[in-house]
Copies of this chain bind each other. A is one copy, B any other.
Amino acid sequence: MNTPHFSIAAVERETGLSKDVLRVWERRYGFPLPERDDHGERSYSAAQVERLRLIKRLMDQGHRPGKLLAIPAEALAELAPRKPASTATADSAADPDALNDLLTLIRQHDALGYQQAMQQRLGKQGLSTFVQDTVAPLTGRIGEAWEAGQIEVFEEHLFTELTKRLLRQAIAGLPGGKLQPRVLLTSVPEEQHVLGLLMVESLLALEGAECIPLGTQMPLLEIVRAAEAHQADIVALSFSIAFPARQIPALLQQLRDLLPGKVAIWAGGAGILRSAAPLGVQLMPRLELALEALAAWREMAMAYPGSR
């Protein structure tokens, strides 16, 4: 195992920092200052990549790059989160002990134990409560733990994968058919998190909506085609906290322009907290709001049956 080096494209893959950003940081802050290979191209060391990963995580916690890049590598690890407010997931949880137990299973990479514990909770609580009181807060806790550096990326991936399977299995057990309204669930390109969509799908399907799950990363023009082909009443999009918030309003606006007015747009997920909604787009930062919106939609459909 020799000391590996990374091209600028590889660093972009590993850290999620764009090539433009990597170059402009080097110009402005003098870090990272990679070696150059035979062709004069940047060649980053593993240590630099590691430090960049750490910087990226601290930025997601609200730190600013200008400060972080001035701090020597060793001092970085000790920085505390610097968030506007920890959006209060801890207190809203019904039983924090149970969540902690589940979190511990994840940290120990005990896939089997986690699956069994979750399956048991699902049986006890029923799907609706399970989603709202177990999966949603647990996802929040995982996010916090990741920000605090208490959890590895691959641990988070394993959690996501196992939880996805649970929810999909539960959804598969629900009665399908020709129901109303027809909800198209997906996310835009670059947004790969699907857990939120599955949670909404569970709740909506329980309430008798027909859900059309398209997975993640649909180009806007494809969303429009799909909505037409499936005669969707609602397009539901999910934005995770990791999604670049600055792009969201423009994206929603563009989609609103492309879709016929009678198709509603719902946007959810932790990513929309910091964004304003364009006209004709409903934001629902919390799961319950989707249920309220569903009730409201049905009332409206009752009152004006022709409008769809």
Q: Using a CB–CB distance below 8 Å, which chain A residues touch chain B? A: 1-2, 4, 6, 9-10, 13-15, 46, 49-50, 53, 109, 111-112, 115, 152-155, 157-158, 160-162, 164-165, 168-169, 171-172, 176-177, 186, 188-190, 192, 212-223, 225-226, 229-230, 247, 254, 257-258, 260
Contacts and interface: CB of A to CB of B under 8 A. Distances in A.
B165 A109 contact: no
A84 to B, nearest CB: 27
Contacts of A112: 176-177
A155 to B, nearest CB: 8
B14 A215 contact: no
Given A154-B222, A212-B158, A218-B153, A4 B257 contact: yes
A79 to B, nearest CB: 21
B152 A4 contact: no
Contacts of A4: 254, 257-258
Given A4-B254, A215-B161, A14 B221 contact: yes
Contacts of A2: 257
B172 A165 contact: yes
Q: Which of A158, A189, A190, A217 has the most CB of B within 10 A?
A: A158
B1 A153 contact: no
23 contacts: A1-B257, A1-B258, A4-B257, A9-B247, A14-B219, A14-B221, A15-B219, A111-B176, A112-B177, A115-B176, A152-B225, A152-B229, A153-B218, A153-B219, A153-B222, A154-B223, A157-B214, A157-B215, A158-B212, A158-B226, A164-B168, A168-B168, A169-B169
A12 to B, nearest CB: 9
A161 B213 contact: yes
A229 B109 contact: yes
A257 B171 CA distance: 42
Contact of A168 (B6, B109, B169): B169
Contacts of A164: 168, 215
Nearest to A5: B254
A109 B190 CA distance: 25
A219 B156 CA distance: 13
A67 to B, nearest CB: 25
Contacts of A158: 212-215, 226
